[in-house]
């Protein structure tokens, strides 16, 4: 019904590898894009800049991690460290007077460089050992930030970011900053969607499934893992820089701590490894749910005059949030993206689901 497949015929390899084999997917994306562009005119500035904008920035970041972890299968516990490299490099560059376009690029490249350097050491080991090595990267970065005032900005380890500007145009309004986040997130999304249907994307998947088997097929697994790490770090670096430039307005070590690394990893696991739409859902759940749950409970307590103390009010949403993660993963271990895919699969053949198999 929603996803008519009638008239979809593939007569060439090229047409089969189209970005949107099902027209509905394309139409859905068009609607979402229009909604994204129209959001500033529909939503209040609170929702736009305190919920939607961080959601987009974090989605772009999580997509970057998903590239390394979801597509190439490399567990990464030090993603926040690459974000930190990108953020600090870009902010320092911008403070030095370099225009933001180049500062962002410098941030991305610096993160990519440091990420690849670590990858050279890290990729000699696999699985859980890799996780620990990447965790080491996180702790080294934490230590460096806490012990070098030159990088972290001296006074109380906070480094102010200069006003954000693109093409010489200063961007300070909420709408402008939102569009920057939207643009970057769209760019990363398009890149990831296209990645899936290229030789590079398939090689990454081959490495993920079994790097040994991939090597037999002639895929240089070390090389592709390195590409996955450096690309993911590049996205993470620019994302971190944008987070600071358009949302926090200053960089502080706590914004890139180990808990952030775990949080981003949780986003993609809850959302679905190797799923783009799932990443969007996962980020929404992990990033926005605590605040929303807080709000709902506070309003409920006020409405029903529940005699709850401050601490109880703070802890119930945390418990609810934890329970939600467990429930979602119990219902669908492959993540929220798979939940969406299930619904889509159901409607692909509805009402003739006897033809499914």
Interface with other proteins, residue 291, by CB under 8 A:
yes
Interface with other proteins, residue 289, by CB under 8 A:
no
H-assigned helices in the chain: 13-16, 23-42, 45-47, 53-66, 79-96, 100-122, 127-147, 149-152, 174-195, 199-209, 211-216, 221-243, 258-271, 276-283, 289-303, 310-331, 336-349
Write the DSSP symbol of residue 353.
G
Spatial separation of the C-alpha atoms in residues 208 and 229, rounded to whole Å: 13
- Contact pick of 195, 215, 252, 325 for other proteins (by CB under 8 A): 252
- Contact pick of 165, 298, 325, 349 for other proteins (by CB under 8 A): 298
* Opening angle at CA 124, ends 118 and 126, nearest 5: 100
Interface with other proteins, residue 107, by CB under 8 A:
no
Interface with other proteins, residue 9, by CB under 8 A:
no
- Contact pick of 113, 186, 294, 345 for other proteins (by CB under 8 A): 294
Spatial separation of the C-alpha atoms in residues 240 and 278, rounded to whole Å: 21
Interface with other proteins, residue 295, by CB under 8 A:
yes
- How many residues sit close enough to other proteins to count as binding (CB under 8 A)? 41
Per the DSSP assignment, residues forming a β-bridge with 166 are 169
Site track for other proteins across 117-156, x = CB under 8 A: -----------------------------x-------xxx
Could you tell me the smallest distance in angstroms from the CB atom of residue 356 to other proteins?
A: 19
- Contact pick of 75, 136, 166, 292 for other proteins (by CB under 8 A): 292
Per the DSSP assignment, residues forming a β-bridge with 138 are none
| Minimum CB distance to other proteins smaller for 190 or for 319 | 319
Which one of 22-30, 102-110, 251-259, 272-280 is the stretch in contact with other proteins (CB under 8 A)?
251-259
What phi and psi, each to the nearest 5 degrees, are found at residue 200?
A: -60, -50
- Judge if the upstream peptide bond of residue 331 is cis by omega within 30 degrees of 0: no
Interface with other proteins, residue 51, by CB under 8 A:
yes
Which one of 75-83, 197-205, 252-260, 326-334 is the stretch in contact with other proteins (CB under 8 A)?
252-260
Nearest CA-CA partner of 66 in 236, 240, 246: 236
Spatial separation of the C-alpha atoms in residues 338 and 271, rounded to whole Å: 8
Site for other proteins, residues 154 to 193, rule: CB under 8 A: 154-158, 160
Only one residue has tokens 């994302």, namely: 239
Could you tell me the smallest distance in angstroms from the CB atom of residue 313 to other proteins?
A: 7
Spatial separation of the C-alpha atoms in residues 79 and 134, rounded to whole Å: 8
Site for other proteins, residues 52 to 71, rule: CB under 8 A: 54
Using CB under 8 A, list all residues that contact other proteins. 44, 46, 49-51, 54, 146, 154-158, 160, 247-250, 252-255, 287, 290-292, 294-296, 298-300, 302-303, 309-311, 313-315, 317-318
């Amino acid at each position: 019904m929603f996803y008519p497949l009638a008239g979809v015929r593939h007569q060439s390899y090229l047409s089969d590898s189209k970005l949107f084999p099902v027209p509905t997917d394309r139409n859905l994306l068009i609607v979402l894009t229009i909604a994204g562009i129209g959001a500033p005119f529909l939503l209040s500035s609170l929702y736009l800049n305190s919920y939607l904008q961080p959601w987009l920035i974090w989605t772009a970041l999580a997509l970057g991690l998903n590239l390394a972890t979801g597509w190439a299968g490399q567990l990464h516990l030090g993603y926040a460290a690459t974000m930190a490299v990108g953020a600090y490099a870009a902010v320092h560059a911008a403070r030095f007077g370099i225009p933001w376009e180049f500062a962002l690029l410098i941030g991305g490249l610096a993160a990519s460089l440091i990420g690849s350097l670590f990858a050279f050491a890290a990729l000699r080991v696999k699985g859980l050992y890799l996780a620990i090595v990447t965790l080491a990267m996180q702790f080294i970065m934490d230590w460096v930030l806490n012990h070098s005032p030159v990088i972290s900005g001296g006074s109380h380890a906070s480094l102010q970011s200069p006003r954000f500007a693109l093409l010489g145009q200063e961007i300070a309004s909420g709408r402008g900053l939102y569009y920057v986040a939207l643009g970057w997130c769209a760019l990363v999304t398009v890149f990831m969607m296209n990645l899936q249907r290229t030789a590079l994307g398939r090689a990454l998947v081959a490495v993920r499934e079994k790097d040994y088997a991939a090597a037999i097929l002639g895929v240089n697994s070390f090389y592709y893992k390195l590409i996955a790490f450096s690309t993911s770090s590049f996205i993470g670096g620019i994302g971190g820089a944008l987070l600071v430039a358009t949302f926090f307005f200053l960089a502080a070590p706590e914004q890139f701590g180990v808990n952030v690394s775990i949080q981003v990893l949780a986003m993609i696991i809850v959302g679905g490894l190797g799923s783009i739409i799932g990443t969007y859902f996962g980020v929404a759940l992990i990033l926005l749910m605590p605040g929303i749950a807080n709000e709902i409970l506070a309003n409920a307590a006020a409405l029903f005059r529940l005699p709850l103390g401050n601490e109880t009010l703070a802890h119930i949403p945390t418990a609810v949030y934890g329970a939600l993660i467990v429930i979602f993963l119990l219902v669908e271990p492959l993540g929220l993206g798979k939940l969406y895919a299930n619904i889509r699969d159901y409607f692909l053949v509805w009402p003739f689901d006897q033809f499914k198999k």
